[in-house]
Chain A
């Protein structure tokens, strides 16, 4: 197993790049949640904005990732540092599943429950915090899960603009035509994606069980 040997010989660098990778994915998903959750809530309440917001998020999603990194390069403050750029791009990609699932989750709450809440005299905020968000939480989380898994994959491409992460190994391996090096990036990335998927999936099930 040459790959394993390569991994253990270079374990310091593997760990470093994995940490970078996690940082890129974690911070961008966090931003995406901070932006996407409120947007999802807004369009769930004002369905007229729905097409505009989901449409825009959809369009972003169709831009090839390498092209998006390229487009963002000339932007003043962002272009100065590759990791800023990568985080912005990853955030944009992660928005769609989070906005969409927040919207679907809230709209999917049993109308009888919502109407009962309103009829009992809950304010809009109370309805949102006590009823709609808790009942939508597992759907919203599954959006976060999709966003995380997509980001882990996409973040490997961030290495193309020098933002670091496990993509470094992949691009280096490609340049060196060395499978071991490619796999040294690809395998940890796949493990990260699986771990994110399983981890959030577990939380989701915990929430559903109630």
Chain B
């Protein structure tokens, strides 16, 4: 991780987000540096996904500003902004009536790339994500969960965005497939150096994938730490999160059957 000289790629400045009178997010300050994977960790309802949606303006902050690439997101053209940001969600949201190929080619196609370039890009991405070229003409419902999620990642990468937002992308997968995809994510990140904001509630996933981990609680960021710092932290909320996850293993070891 090299601290960027050009400033953060994504920056939250005193951001709050309210729905009616409910404070979903308050006093959010956060910087994401170029090429790092920042993990937003926290339990359901802590505001992780909301934070993510503020970046590509699926939501707009009630107060404060979100800056992307040094400019206030609120002032940029929302369509352009979104096409420069890859977006992967747990439900995947592949278009069921599009083939794998067309799903991956979505952003290049609406950006008006020539067909030959789109074809080459799709082929390249299938290879990159370890998907067989035969799958190109299949429909999403004909794929396994892991394959679908890979297609989701390929689609997000299609127009080569510098920023990738991932909202519990591996949450719905079985542990083995999840492990596989996490490993692939790490090796992809080694070559692609995307700026990634990754949402999860799984501590193991956070520590494995994150350059830094931001723990969220009730709409606030409690701490932003490297994985090593996170494990050693004496902050009660951080320690509590680590303890709960550690417990699972200890219980298993102490069952004695």
Contacts and interface: CB of A to CB of B under 8 A. Distances in A.
Contact of B79 (A114, A115, A123, A131): A123
A26 interface: no
Interface string B139-169: 1000000000000000110000000010000
Contact of B139 (A116, A119, A210): A210
Interface of A: 110, 112-123, 126, 130-131, 134-135, 210
B87 A119 contact: yes
B89 A116 contact: yes
B93 A117 contact: yes
Among the interface residues B81, B107, B110, which one has the most CB atoms of the partner chain A within 10 A?
Answer: B110
B92 A120 contact: no
A115 B139 CA distance: 19
What does DSSP make chain A's interface, helix, strand, loop or mixed?
helix
16 contacts: A110-B91, A112-B93, A113-B96, A115-B89, A115-B93, A116-B92, A120-B82, A120-B83, A120-B106, A121-B80, A121-B81, A122-B110, A123-B79, A130-B95, A135-B96, A135-B97
Interface in B98-117: 106-107, 110
Nearest to B158: A120
A115 B81 CA distance: 15
B19 interface: no
Interface of B: 56, 58, 79-83, 87, 89, 91-97, 106-107, 110, 139, 155-156, 165
Given A114-B93, A115-B93, A135-B96, 15 more contacts: A110-B91, A112-B91, A113-B93, A116-B89, A116-B92, A116-B95, A117-B95, A119-B56, A119-B82, A120-B106, A121-B81, A121-B83, A122-B110, A134-B97, A135-B97
Nearest 5 Cβ contacts at the A-B interface = A116-B93, A121-B82, A112-B91, A121-B83, A119-B87
Nearest to B93: A116
B79 A113 contact: no
A207 B233 CA distance: 56
B89 A112 contact: yes
B214 to A, nearest CB: 21
Contacts of B79: 121, 123
A118 B59 CA distance: 11
Among the interface residues B58, B96, B165, which one has the most CB atoms of the partner chain A within 10 A?
Answer: B96
Among the interface residues B93, B139, B155, which one has the most CB atoms of the partner chain A within 10 A?
Answer: B93
Contacts of B156: 120
Contacts of B89: 112, 115-116, 119
Contact of A118 (B58, B91, B110): B58
A120 B92 CA distance: 12
A194 to B, nearest CB: 30
B17 to A, nearest CB: 17
Contacts of B139: 210
Contacts of B56: 119
Contacts of B95: 113, 116-117, 130-131, 135
B96 A120 contact: no
Nearest to B84: A121
A116 B97 contact: no
Contacts of A131: 95
Contacts of A116: 87, 89, 91-95
Nearest to A114: B93
A132 to B, nearest CB: 11
A152 B79 CA distance: 46
Nearest to B78: A121
Nearest to A119: B87
A131 B87 CA distance: 17
A114 B91 CA distance: 11
Contacts of B93: 110, 112-117, 119
Nearest to A122: B110
B180 to A, nearest CB: 23
A120 B107 contact: yes
Contacts of A120: 82-83, 87, 106-107, 155-156
